[in-house]
């Protein structure tokens, strides 16, 4: 097995190999990891097998036609801790879309709006970038409920409902939501004229997410693939229909359903934007979803340290992965 090395970065775990879009793991490759799992334990083995299965899914195909496809919006919810990534996140998302980008919406805490606008003022896509305050998206009733019930996870839960609200009110056919630490590395046609879109599959399964979603809508299965993918194409008309089919009239109504049903005894109880939409599109619009390999790699990178070195690493990663998430906790 080849081990990929980028200077101080060593790819040692099976996930880095399995996740590559140019690689499909087979049973022969899996066997040594299975043997190793006897020492690592049951949970390691379950995650290994799940990763093996989802990474055998086909990668999203190149489109037959790239012309005259729907214009879309890019949405990024951010805070100052991720501002060092923000220009790169925007630039890679715009550059790697076969759909034209009509608007880039950046949503940040109210006190950080001016700093964010200054940061992005010289971005090459500045004319289509709009920086908005979180306070202009969600009303105080929603934010107060999130603060009350998720005091330790406020920002994490807030960004999920910021996405839901901005998607259902978007005027565009598609909204590409990208996490503020994630770079899209490979070009995609995110939405075609027939309403078809990629739906990426990941291996990050967390039972409480699906237990909650099943309580909100019993058409959503508990045992399922995961779609926690750090970026997702949302079709606003589909999300509005999914909410309607779940007997939900608004973002606040969805939050109330979450608060009524979530597991208070778990540290990570909800993934309401990605999984709610993904399970909804599979339940009601399955013919429009092209199930695809996620092919993401998570690394600790800093684009502000050495731009030449950073761009060199990104170029190498783009030959193997669809995206990279530069998680600060790594």
Which domains are delineated in the chain? 9-56 (no CATH), 72-296 (3.90.550.10)
pLDDT of residue 329: 54
- Distance CA(91)–CA(308), nearest Å, equals 16
Cα dihedral across residues 245, 148, 106, 305: positive or negative: negative
Contact (Cβ atoms closer than 8 angstroms) between residue 70 and residue 96: no
pLDDT of residue 12: 45
- Distance CA(160)–CA(202), nearest Å, equals 18
The phi-psi region of residue 11 (left if phi > 0; otherwise alpha if psi is between -120 and 50; otherwise beta) is beta
Question: Could you list the pLDDT tens digit for every one of the 330 residues in the chain?
Answer: 333 444 333 334 788 899 999 999 999 999 988 988 888 899 889 989 999 999 999 999 999 888 899 999 999 999 999 999 999 999 999 999 999 999 999 999 999 999 999 999 999 999 999 999 999 999 999 999 999 999 999 999 999 999 999 999 999 999 999 999 999 999 999 999 999 999 999 988 999 999 999 999 999 999 999 999 999 999 999 999 999 999 999 999 999 999 999 999 998 999 999 999 999 999 999 999 999 999 999 998 888 767 888 889 999 999 999 999 997 654
pLDDT of residue 8: 36
pLDDT of residue 15: 85
pLDDT of residue 62: 92
Contact (Cβ atoms closer than 8 angstroms) between residue 102 and residue 170: no
pLDDT of residue 9: 38
pLDDT of residue 330: 46
HSE toward the beta carbon, residue 232, CA cutoff 13 A: 30
Residue 41, token pair as written in the block: 């334990």
HSE toward the beta carbon, residue 92, CA cutoff 13 A: 26
For 31-67, give the secondary structure using H, E and C.
HHHHHHHHHHCHHHHHHHHHHHHHCCCCCCCCCCCCC
Contacts for 214 with CB less than 8 Å, ≥ 6 apart? 220, 221, 222
- Distance CA(292)–CA(321), nearest Å, equals 13
pLDDT of residue 123: 96
pLDDT of residue 5: 43
| pTM for this predicted structure | 0.93
Q: Give the 3-state secondary structure of residue 283.
A: helix
pLDDT of residue 67: 87
């Amino acid at each position: 097995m080849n081990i990929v090395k980028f200077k101080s970065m060593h790819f040692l775990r099976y996930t880095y190999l399995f996740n590559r879009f140019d690689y499909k793991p087979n049973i022969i490759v899996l066997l040594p990891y299975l043997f190793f799992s006897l020492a690592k334990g049951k949970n390691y083995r379950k995650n290994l097998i799940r990763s093996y299965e989802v990474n055998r899914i086909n990668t999203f195909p190149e489109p037959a036609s790239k012309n005259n496809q729907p214009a879309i919006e890019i949405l990024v919810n951010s805070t100052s801790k991720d501002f060092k990534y923000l220009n790169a996140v925007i630039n890679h998302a715009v550059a790697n879309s076969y759909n034209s980008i009509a608007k880039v919406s950046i949503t940040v805490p109210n006190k950080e709006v001016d700093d964010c606008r200054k940061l992005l003022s010289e971005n090459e896509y500045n004319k289509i970038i709009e920086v908005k305050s979180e306070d202009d998206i969600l009303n105080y009733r929603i934010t107060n409920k999130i603060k009350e019930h998720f005091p330790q996870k406020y920002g994490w839960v807030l960004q999920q409902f910021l996405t839901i609200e901005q998607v259902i009110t978007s005027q565009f056919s598609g909204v590409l939501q990208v996490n503020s630490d994630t770079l899209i590395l490979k070009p995609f046609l995110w939405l075609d004229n027939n309403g078809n879109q990629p739906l990426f599959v990941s291996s990050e399964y967390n039972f409480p997410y699906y237990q909650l979603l099943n309580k909100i809508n019993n058409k959503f299965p508990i045992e399922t693939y995961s779609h926690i993918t750090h970026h997702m194409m949302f079709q606003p008309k589909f999300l509005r229909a999914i909410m309607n089919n779940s007997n939900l009239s608004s973002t606040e109504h969805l939050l109330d359903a979450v608060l009524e049903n979530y597991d208070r005894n778990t540290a990570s109880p909800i993934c309401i934007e990605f999984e709610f939409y993904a399970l909804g599109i599979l339940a009601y619009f399955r013919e429009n979803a092209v199930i695809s390999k996620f092919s993401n790699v998570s690394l600790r990178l800093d684009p502000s340290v050495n731009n030449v070195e950073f761009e060199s690493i990104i170029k190498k990663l783009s030959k193997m992965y669809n995206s990279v998430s530069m998680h600060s906790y790594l």
